[in-house]
Structure formats: structure tokens, C-alpha cells
């Protein structure tokens, strides 16, 4: 459960740019971003922060306040050798392990660094070392760090009432993602230790739990080709139920905007911007990214998951690898070191439909593709593979900006 509570965050201003007055006066962002026009029309989007149902908070255990690094080695010399082979210098290794408590435990080493090392670690070293820690699943907070995808902490924490000291601390502990887009934050235990009361702990958790998502709408005021627009969103009749809606709104001169949520297939539309229900996990697990992608066009969901035995078979039998331009409903797989780490559904204009975790605290949302890539790119090597449902026949196409297609 702890792996899910800090899934999404917005990034932070450098500490030098944070002032008490700036934090108090910073307006909450309400700007609407105008997208690039295409066969989908012209999209407008703005950011929102989704809060999980209040009753879910009782399921969260306060993380341990003691930072711990775990390695699958039996001795300290083995650990030092591995860190050296991973690209750390002798001085960097000495700094990290200085005054650290190291305990052997069941063919592994548990390392408890000093608080001075955590807070004083240079940003470049933090990024390099935490990427090494992320290779081992036992390092939960490094394996799945918080993702900070903008550069303004005052906006994100506008109504969180954090003291400027806490904001500066968060800025100090954040480090750039391998992709160079946004920041990661792994030192959750250290942050929790700085809370002065249980109320402050809950306040911090509440802030970290909020999920930034996109609200997207279609601008109909400059519509040039109604038929072309309808063709794109019906996806070769795979999503044909939206045609009557288009016919209705396009004949109404009083309607100039249409929420994109209304243009999604029925089940995808029901799940958008919502957290899983507790009843969704009655079989022992909640929908993950593959469940979400595979069932995007389906009226009745099939319980298949990213680690299901039939995963490879379903990809090969029901999807075709494509080198064409992205279209509505296409499946995009994110690969790292030859392994699929995530997948999402392409909507339009670099916007995708995604579920970035499999727990109660991971809603199904719309995001920019570059944000999804940055969030899941822990090693800096993620590539995209493009797949199309073999039963879908379409001729409308678009290639997104900012992310390269992989052959």
C-alpha cells in the first residue's frame, strides 16, 4: 500500500526562489493551455488535483521515519565493489557510507545513513545513487519515487499551509529524472521525520496523495470539418457511439466546448478521473495499466493484468505493432531494458489515457505523454512501442511532438 501513496506530485522551485511572500501570494494556476490543431480538432486543457476518497486515508500507515537502503550483498566490501562498478567514485562511496550503520540480514545488507548525509547529498550524486537504489525492489521509495512534473512548488502546495522551511526541504531533496523532464522525490521517511506532530504528518500525506491530472475539452468554435472530426473520434467505428453526440452538439450554436471525457468509450468514460472502488479488489488485486488499456474499447472488462500469463499472447493476437502515426485508441508500451514497464492509450495531441499504479490511490486520468514517460523512466532508457488493435480500421493519423517513435 505504501508504494501507492506518493504516486504523483508537482515539482518544486529551487530553494533560492522560495520566499514566504511568494508562497503566500502565488495564485492557484487556472490557465488553459491551447493544444495544436489536428484531425481531432483543437483541444484545450487545464490541470486539476484529484483527492482520493477521505475514507481511504485510514488505510495508510505512516511511513517509518528512519531512512533505510537495502542491497542484496552479504558484506560491506561487496557493496563498495558494486557501487564502484555502477559508476560511483571512491569519494562518493565514502561520503554515502560515512557514519552509516550497516547490518547484515538474510543475505542482504541494511544501510541506515546519517541524517547529515541525506540532507547534504549533492543533487547530482543523489540522482545517480538513487537510480542505483531503484534497481532493487526492496528500496520502495526509490523504486517508485514521487514524480514532480512542473517547476512551481508554491502552486502545488498553495492550499497546504506548509511552512517555508518544509518547502525548501522538499526542494533540496528533489532530484532530476533520468529523462530530464521533471523531478523525483524519494526521501519520504526523512520528510516525515521533520513533521512536528501527527497532524503535520497527515497534512504532508494529504498533500502528497493528491494526483495532478488534465481536464481536456474540445473547442468547437473553429470547426472546419465536422465529418473529419467525427471520423477521428469514432476510431473506425470502434467508438461509434459518439457519433450521435457529435451530430447533436454540432447543430447547437450555443455549444462551443465539449469535454473529451464524453468522447471516450463507455467503460473508459466511467473510469476517468476516478479512484478504484474497494469492491474492485475483491479478487485480491485492483486494475493496473494493462487492465485499463486492454479494456479501453470493451463493454465488459476482462480481468487481465500486466503480469498475467496471457499478457504476451494477448498483445500478439489482438494488437499489431505499427510504424504509422499515432491514432485515437492506440496502445503505447514503455520499454526499459527489454521489459515492459507501463502502457497507456493515445487520445490526441500528445495526451494519453493512463493508470500509473495498481492500488487504491491510483486514479485513471489523462496526462501528457512526456509526463507519463518521465514518470516511468527510472533508468533513462525508456523507449516507446506502438501497437494498434487489429480489429480497428482507421485512416486518420498524427505523430506526437516531443517523443520519438521507436521502430
Residue 13 has pLDDT above 60, yes or no: no
DSSP state of 371: H
365 in a structural domain: yes
pLDDT tens, residue by residue, 178-210: 988 888 989 988 988 887 777 777 778 777 778
CA dihedral 292, 296, 301, 304 (to 10 degrees): -40
1 in a structural domain: no
382 in a structural domain: yes
Domain that holds residue 246: 221-389
Q: Residue 270 — very low, low, confident or very high, per pLDDT cuts 50/70/90?
A: very high
Cα–Cα distance for residue pair 381/73, rounded to 1 Å: 26
pLDDT tens, residue by residue, 212-258: 899 999 998 866 667 788 889 988 778 888 888 888 887 777 888 89
pLDDT attached to residue 9: 37
Total number of domains in the chain: 1
Q: Are 382 and 373 in contact (CB under 8 A)?
A: yes
261 in a structural domain: yes
Q: Is 200 exposed, middle or buried (0-12, 13-18, 19+ CB in 10 A)?
A: middle
Average pLDDT value for the chain: 82
pTM across the whole model: 0.83
270 in a structural domain: yes
187 in a structural domain: no
70 in a structural domain: no
48 in a structural domain: no
Amino acid at each position: 500500500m505504501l508504494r501507492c501513496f506518493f504516486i504523483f506530485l508537482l515539482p518544486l522551485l529551487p530553494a533560492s526562489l522560495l520566499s514566504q511572500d511568494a508562497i503566500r501570494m502565488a495564485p492557484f494556476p487556472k490557465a488553459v493551455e491551447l493544444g495544436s490543431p489536428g484531425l481531432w480538432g483543437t483541444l484545450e486543457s487545464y490541470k486539476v488535483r484529484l483527492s482520493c476518497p477521505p475514507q481511504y486515508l485510514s488505510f495508510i500507515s505512516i511511513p517509518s521515519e528512519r531512512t533505510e537502503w537495502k542491497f542484496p550483498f552479504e558484506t560491506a566490501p561487496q557493496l563498495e565493489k558494486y557501487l564502484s562498478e555502477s559508476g560511483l567514485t571512491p569519494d562518493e562511496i565514502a561520503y554515502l557510507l560515512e557514519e552509516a550503520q550497516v547490518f547484515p540480514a538474510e543475505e542482504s545488507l541494511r544501510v541506515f545513513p546519517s541524517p547529515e548525509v541525506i540532507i547534504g547529498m549533492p543533487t547530482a550524486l543523489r540522482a545517480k545513487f538513487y537510480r542505483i537504489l531503484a534497481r532493487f525492489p526492496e528500496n520502495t521509495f526509490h523504486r517508485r519515487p514521487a514524480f514532480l512534473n512542473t517547476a512551481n512548488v508554491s502552486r502545488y502546495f498553495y492550499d497546504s499551509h506548509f511552512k517555508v522551511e518544509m518547502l525548501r526541504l522538499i526542494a533540496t531533496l528533489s532530484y532530476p529524472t533520468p529523462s530530464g523532464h521533471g523531478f523525483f522525490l524519494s526521501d519520504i521517511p526523512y520528510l516525515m521525520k521533520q513533521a512536528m506532530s501527527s497532524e503535520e504528518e497527515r497534512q504532508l500525506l494529504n498533500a502528497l496523495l493528491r494526483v495532478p491530472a488534465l481536464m481536456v475539452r474540445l473547442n468547437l468554435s473553429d470547426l472546419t470539418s465536422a465529418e473529419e472530426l467525427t471520423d477521428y473520434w469514432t476510431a473506425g467505428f470502434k467508438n461509434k457511439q459518439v457519433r450521435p453526440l457529435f451530430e447533436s452538439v454540432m447543430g447547437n450554436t450555443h455549444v462551443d466546448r465539449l469535454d473529451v471525457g464524453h468522447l471516450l468509450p463507455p467503460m473508459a468514460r466511467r473510469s476517468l478521473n476516478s479512484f478504484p472502488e474497494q469492491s474492485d479488489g475483491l479478487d485480491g488485486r485492483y486494475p493496473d495499466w494493462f487492465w485499463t488499456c486492454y479494456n479501453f474499447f470493451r463493454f465488459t472488462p476482462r480481468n487481465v493484468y500486466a503480469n498475467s500469463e496471457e499478457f504476451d499472447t494477448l498483445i500478439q493476437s489482438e494488437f499489431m505493432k505499427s510504424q504509422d502515426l499515432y491514432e485515437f485508441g492506440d496502445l503505447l508500451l514503455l520499454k526499459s531494458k527489454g521489459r515492459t514497464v507501463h502502457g497507456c492509450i493515445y487520445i490526441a495531441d500528445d495526451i494519453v489515457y493512463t493508470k500509473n499504479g495498481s492500488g487504491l490511490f491510483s486514479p485513471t486520468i489523462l496526462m501528457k505523454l512526456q509526463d507519463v514517460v518521465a514518470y516511468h523512466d527510472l533508468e533513462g532508457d525508456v523507449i516507446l512501442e506502438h501497437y494498434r488493435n487489429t480489429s480497428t480500421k482507421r485512416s486518420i493519423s498524427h505523430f506526437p511532438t516531443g517523443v520519438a517513435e521507436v521502430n
